[in-house]
A and B are shown apart, each in its own frame.
Chain A
Amino acid sequence: DAKTTQPNSMESNEEEPVHLPCNHSTISGTDYIHWYRQLPSQGPEYVIHGLTSNVNNRMASLAIAEDRKSSTLILHRATLRDAAVYYCILRPTGTASKLTFGTGTRLQVTL
């Protein structure tokens, strides 16, 4: 499986935008880029995913580099409730494809 690289931790002030980077230089043409997050004492939850174009939803935006070797998850206004571990995951398309979590980025949000 193609691998992702993320910073171990990041800090943000509340109500500021947060840009969480992910490198995936060995991504293949059929790999989707997924982001999940895991709040303390909870299971992971889906945030956003994309293939080539930038994507927006109510939780976040996903900016994908033109060569697809990196992507950035953007939280437009971080709140204390966004403090979590954020995982960038490559998912190959196919039957029973796997969700392989990397080490993720622990985001701390402070007042």
Chain B
Amino acid sequence: DTEVTQTPKHLVMGMTNKKSLKCEQHMGHRAMYWYKQKAKKPPELMFVYSYEKLSINESVPSRFSPECPNSSLLNLHLHALQPEDSALYLCASSQDPGGRETQYFGPGTRLLVL
């Protein structure tokens, strides 16, 4: 099974709401990633978790809070977002964080902030 699942598929939230995005993989991968993709732009890396520890934060605003409760799960907690945060949020995983490893992507959560 080479599947990364993400829930929900779509999310609409107000600027005062708190919501969470969820990502799950059962491939035994030890690296997990969050990317943000604006319309007609390439994905941009937000966070990397390596062996359940945050290893890269690409200067993401604190209104985005990642969490890795275990090796199969990755969450992205959202609070006080802005309309410009509307985007497709992609989760990915890889066997380990090394440079040769394939990343497997989920289908994404399409977020709209009103």
CB within 8 Å of B: which residues of A?
Answer: 30-32, 36, 41-46, 49, 85, 87, 91-104
Chain A binding surface SS class: loop
Task: Give the residues from 73 to 114 in chain B that come closer than 8 angstroms, CB to CB, to chain A.
Answer: 90, 92, 97-100, 102-108
Q: Mark B42-77, 1 if CB is under 8 A from A, else 0.
A: 111100101000011000000000000000000000
Bound complex: CA A58 to CA B78 (Å):
40
Question: Is the Cβ of A91 less than 8 Å from the Cβ of B99?
Answer: yes
Query: Of A94, A102, A104, which is within 8 A of B99 by CB?
Result: A94
- Chain A residues in 8 Å Cβ range of B33: 99
- Chain B residues in 8 Å Cβ range of A96: 31, 48, 50, 55-56, 97
- Chain A residues in 8 Å Cβ range of B92: 43-44, 99
Query: Could you say which of B92, B105, B108 has the most chain A C-beta atoms within 10 Å of its C-beta?
Result: B105
Closest CB in chain B relative to A4 CB, distance in Å = 11
- Known A42-B107, A44-B105; judge A32-B100 contact (CB<8 A): yes
Bound complex: CA A100 to CA B99 (Å):
12
Query: Could you say which of A31, A96, A97 has the most chain B C-beta atoms within 10 Å of its C-beta?
Result: A96
Closest CB in chain A relative to B38 CB, distance in Å = 12
